[in-house]
Amino acid sequence: MNSSALVYRVDFLYFVADIVINKPKFVSAGTVTSVSGRGTKPKDYTITLKNTIGNTRYGAYTNDKQTTKTVKLKESVVLESPISQTKFWKGVSSAQANFVGSSYSAGTKTSDPMLLNKKGVKYPTGYKDPQSGITLWEPPANLTANPRTPGDYREKFIEYYEKKLGKTNKIQMD
């Protein structure tokens, strides 16, 4: 058996589902879709999917859910994690090609982190206010909400903004 002469196509997908019915889920899916090359083909494949969560984009992530299944070629594995609070979500996936007495890596992938609120809505990234040029920063997932500032802080901020940048017609201030 010469497993190094084989080439595997493995598709890993990561997405948010069921937002419309208010039961959002982070979903990971994996399928070994083809194997080509010279040599003995694997008897089956083992796919491992992990849905992980964290409080910051580049910080530590912990497992929310994990599954490992042995499947045949073109058979999919799906893992769903209900979303109930704002977190960064990331999928970590791998596939092994199983031969009699041994196994070899067929593919691995880690998704880009997604900051999702409890409704499964992705936080906008890269937004730049067209008038002020200020880029919206990405908060940590565990940022506590501030109560509304008492007094006339909001009105003073709007007055300051309009004095420095002019009256806005691009964004809603109410």
Summarize pLDDT for 15-62 with one digit per residue, the tens: 999 988 889 999 999 999 999 999 899 999 999 999 999 999 999 999
pLDDT digits (tens, 9 = 90+) for 93-103: 999 999 999 99
Torsion-angle region of 29 (φ positive above 0: left; ψ -120 to 50: alpha; else: beta): beta
Q: Indicate whether 154 belongs to any domain.
A: no
Mean pLDDT score across all residues of the chain: 89
For residue 7, is it within any domain?
yes
pLDDT interval class at 173 (50, 70, 90): very low
Quick check: is 163 in a domain? no
Looking at the 3D structure of the chain, how many domains does it have? Answer: 1
Per-residue pLDDT band for 113 (boundaries 50, 70, 90) equals very high
- Structure pTM? 0.79
Two tokens, residue 21 = 């019915």
pLDDT of residue 53: 97
Question: Is position 8 within any domain?
Answer: yes
Residue 97 maps to which CATH number?
A: 2.60.40
123 belongs to a structural domain: no
Structure tokens at 151: 């007094």
The alpha-carbon radius of gyration of the chain (Å, integer) is 23
53 within domain boundaries:
yes
What is the distance between the alpha carbons of residues 18 and 46, in angstroms, rounded to a whole number? Answer: 27
169 located within any domain: no
The domain of 101 spans: 3-116
6-14: average pLDDT = 97
